[in-house]
Amino acid sequence: MPNQSQTPETTQTLTADESLQQEIAKLIVVAVNLDTLPAEIEPDAPLFNDGLGLDSIDILEISLVLSKQYGIQLRSDSSDNVNIFRSLRNLAQHVADHRTK
């Protein structure tokens, strides 16, 4: 469902995907105390190591926040675990597919 969102510079119509991405970006920034602004996180940039520079502690922290917010329980033996954290877009897609809240 399209969403209306206004920034000072432009008027943007966000898709549900983009809206969820931004929501998650905000959760990440707060959860791991990042210096970056949520809007600065590019949807396809790597989250782990390069790019955003997250490490395994951050992943654990984020997974807790995601489970509280969306009811998702991450597991290391799930086959697409590497892909899930490959980018914000992937993460948001995973949340969209598996959220229970």
Task: Compare residues 33 and 100 and give the one whose CB is closer to another protein.
Answer: 33
Three-state secondary structure call for residue 40: helix
Q: How many residues bind another protein (CB under 8 A)?
A: 18
Within a 10 A sphere around the Cβ of 25, how many other Cβ atoms? 23
Half-sphere exposure of 83 (CA within 13 A, CB side): 8
Tell which positions 49-68 bind another protein, by CB under 8 A.
Answer: 49, 53, 55-57, 60-61, 63-64, 67
Find the part of the chain contacting another protein (CB under 8 A) among 11-19, 20-28, 70-78, 85-93.
70-78
Binding flag, residue 75, another protein (CB under 8 A): yes
Question: How many Å apart are CA 24 and CA 1, to the nearest integer?
Answer: 18
Task: Compare residues 16 and 60 and give the one whose CB is closer to another protein.
Answer: 60
Q: Which two tokens stand for residue 51?
A: 């790019």
